[in-house]
Amino acid sequence: MRIARFLVLSMAMAMACSRVEGGILQLRILEGGREVPARVEVLGADGSAFAASDALVLHLECAAAPLPEWLRGRISGSDRLHNKQTGTEQFYAAGTARLDLPPGRYRIRAFKGIEFRVAHAEVELAPRDEKTVELELERWVDMPSRGWYGVDDHVHITRRTADDDRRIAIWMSAEDLQITNLLQMGTVDQFGVTPQRDFGEAGEFRLGDTLLISGQEHPRTHFLGHTITLGAERPVDLRDTYISYETTFRAALEAGGLPGYAHFGLGPARDGLALDAPRELVHFLEVLQFASPYYDVWYGLLDLGVRIAPTAGTDFPCGPWSVPGAERFYARLGDEFTRRGLLEAVRTGRTFVTNGPLLDLRVGTAGIGEELALSEGGAIAIEGHVLFDPERDDVKRVELIRNGVVVPVVPSVRRGEIRVEWQGEEQESAWWALRVEGDKVGAAPIEPLPSGPIVDFLGPRLMMDATEAVEALTAYHLARGRVRPSLAHTAPIWVRVGKPGGAPRTLAKPRAEEALRRLEDLEQRLSDERIEEARIWDWVPYSDGVSIEHLRRNRAALLRAIEEARLRYREILAPPP
């Protein structure tokens, strides 16, 4: 017993001595002299990371229903996260932070989204030192003053209480996200992952220039892909007709929301889009996510004349590649900084996606998302503008895109700014956009995607059949040598020549034929002879599998939807009047 007491006393004395020998670092993160939230990194000389004692508590729940509140507060939550973009551990501060540190030299960085330069400081702490360091964050651009607001459309964070509201709003403000779409997630069996306390106006929470809104990733299946509903007045949970996305989409539209597709429209979402997009049920598609772009599916829809906005989101924390807002889209809201203003901006295509560079584009008098109507073919003038922070983004290519094809231009380059101009003739309806690619400066390399026999076997069974998406993203990262890309892309500007219509028939015809082949295969897979091929581990909790029995019950509705989509594609293929 005496030995045990001696050991406890010795440990207590050692801990007390270490506290005495350490120092206290107080941080103030400022913008224009006022304290503001930020993401902070404090590293010792050996690269070890430290978090503040008053850091924001982060609950990172994704794969299952959250813990009960009484238990969640005791065993869940973290004061830091590992940021794979920087390769370091960081924490969030509400404007100030206190750290108890051993003596030594420390490097400090404060981050606040895209529009602020990174603030740097170094400090030496001697034993018993108490020092205050102020980090002044400086804007290099102010997009809200230009009517553009940053949005992450895909964040999974449980929000059940008023305390959650405030904590999450401070967290999103630290990333300079003006609007965050917090998604409640479900499957055919449940709708309880990362729940939201309410929806619509009742689900809004505003803290200064930060707005939280509620949405849903539901339905999401291995058969037709993952969907997102943005901004509806109420949740839509129709599990009896879950695989018939049309029922959810129409109910969401009636509730004032906008349905769209997640994850680039890859994998089974290609079938879902072939079914739903031509019937004007889909309003947006995530084309930037997981530190990667994928535009081909989206380009195919544009070539068909389907006016669908590009959006971006991180899938945080389910997608562990980044932090909230690392991939985001900007929506031109003007003075209407509201949920309704966001919905109207997405519905009309006034968006661009980015992980750093900021874009503008004009075709004649039309801006991003707008239409330039010409009674007959003639001359048009195009101007594109790119802004970026050279300390974080090295923009290497600025491409003017017409109907998915690069139009050669000679850029005018200044530090942190690139302009392109083009003048020529437009004789047929087309869509134009601006695309940017380069390298992230000083960022950690892209980590390989998980692989191995267990992952290869379980992955397609527990989640959506993501083989195509994994292969596409892996190929992209390998081609770049795992260097993190700097990326941005505008929504299209539509040029209409003559009567109202879509893109040129030379593009629409092959795209429509491809979609018809996809619908034919989908129809065959619903037949008695092939429906068993869709079997997946639907009995695994929280997987996005759908049972064969559920498919059979909804088969008639799916077949009707296929026929409606066929009629739309045949209209596209019909000879002009």
Tens digits of pLDDT across the chain (577 residues): 445 454 444 554 444 444 447 899 999 999 999 999 999 999 999 999 999 999 999 988 887 778 777 677 666 778 899 999 999 999 999 999 999 999 999 999 999 999 999 999 999 999 999 999 999 999 999 999 999 999 999 999 999 999 999 999 999 999 999 999 999 999 999 999 999 999 999 999 999 999 999 999 999 998 999 999 999 999 999 999 999 999 999 999 999 999 999 999 998 999 999 999 999 999 999 999 999 999 999 999 999 999 999 999 999 998 877 899 999 999 999 888 999 999 999 999 999 999 999 999 999 999 999 999 998 888 999 999 999 999 999 999 999 999 999 999 999 999 999 999 999 999 999 999 999 999 999 999 988 766 666 555 555 555 545 677 778 888 888 888 999 999 999 999 999 998 765 445 567 889 999 999 999 999 999 999 998 887 766 667 788 889 899 999 999 999 999 999 999 999 888 876 6
Task: Specify the residue for token string 């940053």.
Answer: 150
**Class of residue 253 by CB neighbours under 10 A (exposed 0-12, middle 13-18, buried 19+):** middle
Element (H, E) at 23: strand 23-31
Q: What per-residue confidence (pLDDT) applies to 1? A: 45
Beta pairing partners, 405 = 402
Question: In angstroms, rounded to a whole number, what is the distance separating the alpha carbons of residues 549 and 479?
Answer: 43
Radius of gyration of the chain measured on its C-alpha atoms? 25
Q: What per-residue confidence (pLDDT) applies to 458? A: 53
**Class of residue 556 by CB neighbours under 10 A (exposed 0-12, middle 13-18, buried 19+):** exposed
Helices 269-276, 505-525: axis angle to 10 degrees equals 110
Question: In angstroms, rounded to a whole number, what is the distance separating the alpha carbons of residues 326 and 96?
Answer: 23
Determine contact, residues 323/39, Cβ cutoff 8 Å.
yes
Q: Read out DSSP for 162-200?
A: HHHHHHHHHHHHHTT-SEEEEEEEEETTEEEES-BS--G
Task: Name which of 51, 396, 342 is nearest 215 in CA terms.
Answer: 342
Question: In angstroms, rounded to a whole number, what is the distance separating the alpha carbons of residues 217 and 200?
Answer: 15
Question: In angstroms, rounded to a whole number, what is the distance separating the alpha carbons of residues 549 and 242?
Answer: 12
Q: What per-residue confidence (pLDDT) applies to 472? A: 83
The residue count of the chain comes to 577
Task: Name which of 246, 237, 240, 199 is nearest 218 in CA terms.
Answer: 237
Question: In angstroms, rounded to a whole number, what is the distance separating the alpha carbons of residues 111 and 171?
Answer: 12
- 487: tokens are 């990326």
Q: What per-residue confidence (pLDDT) applies to 186? A: 95
> How many C-beta atoms lie closer than 10 Å to residue 279's C-beta?
15
Q: What per-residue confidence (pLDDT) applies to 505? A: 57
Question: In angstroms, rounded to a whole number, what is the distance separating the alpha carbons of residues 431 and 299?
Answer: 10
Question: In angstroms, rounded to a whole number, what is the distance separating the alpha carbons of residues 193 and 75?
Answer: 18
- 129: tokens are 């030192």
Beta pairing partners, 228 = 260
Return all residues near 340 (Cβ < 8 A) that are at least 6 apart.
231
Question: In angstroms, rounded to a whole number, what is the distance separating the alpha carbons of residues 533 and 548?
Answer: 9
**Torsion-angle region of residue 230: left (phi > 0), alpha (psi -120 to 50) or beta?**
beta
Q: What per-residue confidence (pLDDT) applies to 113? A: 97
